Amino acid sequence: MDSKDWWRGAVIYQIYPRSFMDSNGDGIGDLPGITSRLEHVAGLGADAIWISPFFRSPMKDFGYDVSDYRSVDPIFGTLDDFDRLLAKAHGLGLKIIIDQVLSHTSDQHAWFAESRASRDNPKADWYVWADAKADGTPPTNWLSVFGGSAWQWDSRRRQYYLHSFLTEQPDLNFHCPALREALLGEVRFWCERGVDGFRFDACNHQFHDAQLRDNPPAQREAIDGVSTVRADNPYAMQQHLYDKSQPENLLFLERLRALLDTHDAVALGEVGDENAPPVMAQYTERGKRLHLAYSFSLLTAENSALHLRTQVETLDKALEKTGGWGCLAVSNHDVPRVATRWSGGDAADHRRDRLWLAVLLSLRGSASIYQGEELGLPEADVPFELLQDPYGRAFWPEFKGRDGCRTPMPWQTDGLHGGFSTGAPWLPLADTHRPLAVDRQTADEQSMLAFSRALLAWRRGQPLLRTGRMRFFDAPEPLLWFAREDDKASLQAVFNLSAEPASLTLAEPLAPLAGHLFTGAKQAGDTLTLQLPPYGAYFGEPLSAA
């Protein structure tokens, strides 16, 4: 593979810096802490690291409210600390992807302070401002992801400003040419510092409808299906036709791609849209815009074989039309951990954890692994009095927020605060995580961590799993069956997504791929029946190609 295409089929390890490793005892993870643990990520076998925001911020949304794009927030360290992290990562063969939030800033950003000061200053139109309706109500019916209206009244300008997320996160006005140029300058700053790529947060929120038209109500099936938010959040009750995913964004993404290409930097876009596949296909059109994109399609509570096939197959067909590329994830910093979310309420079971990781790493596209997923960490239970997430506080108790997946990484079973920090952590270390600490799993050849390392190493030797085409076969629940192939070779993967044995009639005999780590599956003679144990998997190639 061309070295510039390293991202195709890459495994990207997401680090949430507040919770990865604390180096100075203040209870908050930081850049030197990440640097001290890079060998763990390199030893896992990841290709790249995506670091969630570490820029200067008042931390209303824990870094996703940026007040200075070019400064490291003091709680995370300094620019020199970042440079040392980058140099060490490159020395270990790891790429560094940083999280850039271009759709909005903090209300503490100097740009917003100037913009809100008057209606005629140089940055007056750098944010989305609009007059009230005649009765004083907001300009449109648009809603915030975090609840309530997406419009906030500002008494200085006597206008409303748009915020798709918290009121402290005003949306930038991408219809303003000067603003677009300024943002490209912020991206260029980090390109010149040597980063290998960017994960662009909420990148389909970068334009709004200039006519400020109201969103229509959502269809019932859309509310109950794949969504960027829970069905009990009123945000899910609208079709978001006008507050995001606007066609003007395509031209901006082309400008962004041109800049990135001059620095050989890669763009990974987050597409939060109820109909994400066509948007992702447009956004990643071959060579024109983003390199790859991901959505929330596998980050829901639904995990049936039919659901997985439908979501992945729909995305794959959309991407094939444009030559685009996807990135799949089953956990991240915004959703409950997969070990709990897809357990159906059952007790912890590392057979299930191994299976989900194997499924993720076998689907077409790149893969994002969230920190702790390689350990099989379950969702932590954070009591209300210790909750930090404003999203969770707003929707408690039906929704407990995102803190349960953001608790500190357990490094040492018997260490103070699990080896994460010498001070009290910003979120409590989960009691259920301590026995799953890195040191204990490193010493156990049968651990989830040992399996994760072996699986990533095995996948590196399977080029079809990195870049091959994908073709699904019909199979009854709870079985997922597909082929990865190119013009010269083919392999098939079968997964039993249940805690009960299952069998499948194959179309042709399959020779097992050497070293694929799953045992117990058997082909029953001439009947071509494949028998799989609970949470079992089978990787094979047609005998004609073996």
**157-168 pLDDT tens trace:** 999 999 999 999
Strands 502-505 and 469-472: unpaired
How confident is residue 394, by pLDDT bands cut at 50, 70 and 90? confident
Res 57 pLDDT > 60:
yes
What is the predicted pLDDT for the residue at 345? 82
Q: How confident is the model at residue 229 (pLDDT cuts 50, 70, 90)?
A: confident
Residues 167 and 184 in one domain: no
Helices in 147-233 by DSSP H: which ranges? Answer: 177-193, 220-224
- Pair (80, 143) in one structural domain: no
Residues 218 and 328 in one domain: yes
pLDDT band at 507 (very low <50, low <70, confident <90, very high): confident
Specify the number of domains making up the chain. Answer: 3
The CATH number of the domain where 520 resides is what?
2.60.40.1180
Q: Is the peptide bond before 410 cis (omega within 30 degrees of 0)?
A: no
Summarised one tens digit per residue, pLDDT across range 353-393 is 999 999 999 999 999 999 999 999 999 999 999 999 998 99
Residue 196 has pLDDT above 80, yes or no: yes
93 with 12, same domain? yes
Average pLDDT over residues 60-81: 98
Q: Find the catalytic residue in 270, 274, 285, 374.
A: 270
Q: Are 301 and 390 in a shared domain?
A: yes
Q: Is 134 found in the same domain as 188?
A: no
In degrees and rounded to multiples of 5, residue 134 shows phi and psi of -60, -25
Across 95-109, 305-319, 494-508, 531-545, least confident range: 531-545
pLDDT of residue 398: 85
| Residue among 467, 539, 541, 530 at smallest CA distance from 501 | 530
Terminal CA-CA length for the chain:
23
260 and 366 inside one domain: yes
Last residue of a domain, one of 152, 171, 190: 171
Mean pLDDT of 216-225: 71
Which residue is it, tokens 């008494």?
Answer: 155
β partners of residue 154: 159
Q: Which of 201, 273, 379, 389 is catalytic?
A: 201
Closest CA to 268 of 283, 248, 258, 246: 283
- Please report how many Cα atoms fall inside a 13 Å half-sphere around the Cα of residue 380, on the Cβ side: 26
Lowest model confidence (mean pLDDT) among 90-94, 466-470, 527-531:
527-531
DSSP class per residue in 414-481: SSGGGGT-SS--SSPPPTTTGGG-HHHHHT-TTSHHHHHHHHHHHHHT-HHHHH-EEEE----TTEEE
Do residue 230 and residue 299 come from a single domain?
yes
Model confidence band, residue 347 (pLDDT cutoffs 50, 70, 90): confident
Specify whether 201 is catalytic. yes
Mean residue pLDDT of the chain comes to 95
Q: Which domain, by its residues, includes 512?
A: 469-542
* Partners of residue 65 on adjacent β-strands: none
Q: Which of 171, 205, 223 is the last residue of a domain?
A: 171
Shared-domain flag, residues 28 and 148: no
Whether pLDDT at 208 is above 70: yes
Residue 228 pLDDT exceeds 70: no
Q: What is the CATH number of the domain that holds 225?
A: 3.20.20.80
Residues 268 and 162 in one domain: no
Mean pLDDT across 450-457: 98
Q: Is the pLDDT reported for residue 221 higher than 70?
A: no
pLDDT (mean) for 82-93: 98
Tell which of 460, 482, 514 closes a domain: 460
Secondary structure (H, E, C), 32-92: HHHHHCHHHHHHHCCCEEEECCCEECCCCCCCCCCCEEEEECCCCCCHHHHHHHHHHHHHC
Question: Lowest mean pLDDT: which of 405-414, 418-427, 517-526, 536-545?
Answer: 517-526
The reported pLDDT for the residue numbered 526 is 64
Mean local confidence (pLDDT), 435-452: 98
| Residue 270 falls in the annotated catalytic set | yes
Residues 332 and 478 in one domain: no
Q: What is the pLDDT at residue 3?
A: 84
Whether 412 and 435 share a structural domain: yes
